[in-house]
Each structure stands twice: as C-alpha cells, then as structure tokens.
C-alpha cells in the first residue's frame, strides 16, 4: 500500500519523507488554510520535497473554470495531481485533463456508483471518504470493498485512495481490502508504530538493564 500524507505542513512532510513513509501528499483548501501559506508557494515546496504525486485542489465549481485552475496548478510541477470534486462538472474536467496527460484525483466520493463513473472518466485516483461515512453511521469500509470489487471486475486502472482516515484501524482495514493508497494526517501515520505491549516490553527491558549496572558506550 502507498502512503500519502494528508497535510500542507512542510516540517511534518519532511520528517515522514526522511523515513521513507511518503509516497505522495494530498492537500485541500482546508489544509491550505491551516498552513497559513499561499497555495502556489506551499504546493511548489511540497512538490520539490517529495517524488510522488501531490494533490492540489481546484476551488471552481464549473467545468471550464475547473479546467483552467487545473492547468494552472499542473504548471507548478510534473508531479501535481489535479484534485477535482466528484460532480458532473468535475467529471467533465477530469476527462479533459486526463486526456491532456495530467494526473487527476477525483475527491469527495461516497458511493461505488460515483467511483465507477470517475474511473470511466479516466481518473488517476478516486478518493472515497471513510471517516465522513462513519460519522453518519455508514461503514466506510464497505465502500472501499465495493469499489475494489467493481474495479477488479472490469480491470479499471483508477487507483483507490482511501481518504478521511481517522484511525490506525482505518489504515489496516483499507490495506486488508486492497486499497491502492491511503492518505492520512501525520499523527495517524505515526500511531501505526505504537502498541502498549511494545511500551511495556521496553520498560521492562530498560528496568532490567539498569540493574546490570552496565553501559554500551
């Protein structure tokens, strides 16, 4: 599974990238707002830092304007994936931009039907939102499984990018089902290394070591 980090914070991306934990980055207007940076400036900095796809989202809602914004964002770097909403206008923009050879991430997907038509429109990535479905008492993992089944049935090459990841369990279940990519905030990625028995075991080892009175260095 590929790991994308869902943030526009440069320091957080750099830390994970140095550990080989970053296969790409996803951003959105809310994350740009949180960073307090200019969208073109911070996106260029992220693209220079990582080798993989960097999703940058349009804010227009009409196809022609989406296409214009998408082309502007794609000029930032070769690894830009233009992020488009899963609307009819978004699909029109997706079809044209992918036809121009650009990567496109179709976002805000909440049904397998939406994922199906996004794949037919040529989307590079489809971003089903797990956590937001969980918020309304719908199991987001069922959506990942449905999309995986549909894509495998017909050989669609669109990559499933599990998004709105809220927990380490979301990551595990997405991997079990076979999502191609997951995107999560830095803190969730770091929590993948945590386990209470690891902490307990380390505490015991250190206690026993202190009793030996020895040093390694």
Q: What is the set of active-site residues?
A: 83
198 vs 204: CA distance, rounded Å: 10
Structure tokens at 132: 């937001």
Q: Residues 172, 173, 178, 181: is their CA dihedral positive or negative?
A: negative
Smallest CA-to-CA distance from 53 within 80, 13, 18 is with: 80
56 vs 47: CA distance, rounded Å: 10
Q: What separation, in Å, do the N-terminal and C-terminal C-alpha atoms of the chain show?
A: 39
Q: Are strands 125-128 and 159-162 parallel, antiparallel or unpaired?
A: parallel
Beta strands in 7-92 (DSSP E): 24-26, 54-57, 80-85
Q: Are 156 and 143 in contact (CB under 8 A)?
A: no
Q: What angle do CA 1, 67, 100 make, to 5 degrees?
A: 65
Rg (C-alpha) for the chain, rounded Å, is 20
């Amino acid at each position: 599974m590929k790991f994308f980090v869902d943030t526009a914070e440069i320091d957080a991306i750099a830390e994970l990238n140095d550990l080989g934990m970053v296969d790409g980055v996803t951003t959105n207007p809310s994350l740009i707002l949180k960073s307090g940076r200019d969208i073109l400036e911070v996106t260029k900095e992220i693209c220079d830092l990582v080798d993989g796809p960097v999703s940058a989202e349009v804010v227009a809602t009409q196809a022609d304007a989406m296409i214009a914004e998408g082309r502007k964002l794609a000029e930032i770097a070769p690894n830009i994936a233009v992020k488009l909403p899963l609307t009819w206008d978004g699909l029109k923009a997706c079809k044209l931009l992918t036809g121009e050879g650009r990567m496109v991430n179709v976002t805000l997907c909440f049904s397998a039907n939406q994922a199906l038509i996004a794949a037919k429109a040529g989307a590079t990535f489809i971003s089903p939102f797990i956590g937001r479905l969980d918020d309304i008492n719908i199991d987001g993992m069922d959506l990942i499984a449905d999309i995986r089944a549909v894509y495998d049935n017909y050989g669609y090459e669109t990559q499933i990018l599990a998004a709105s990841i809220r927990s380490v369990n979301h990551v595990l279940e997405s991997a079990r089902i076979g999502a191609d990519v997951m995107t999560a905030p830095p803190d969730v990625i770091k929590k993948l290394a945590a386990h209470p028995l690891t902490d307990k075991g380390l505490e015991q080892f250190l206690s026993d070591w202190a009793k030996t009175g020895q040093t390694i260095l």
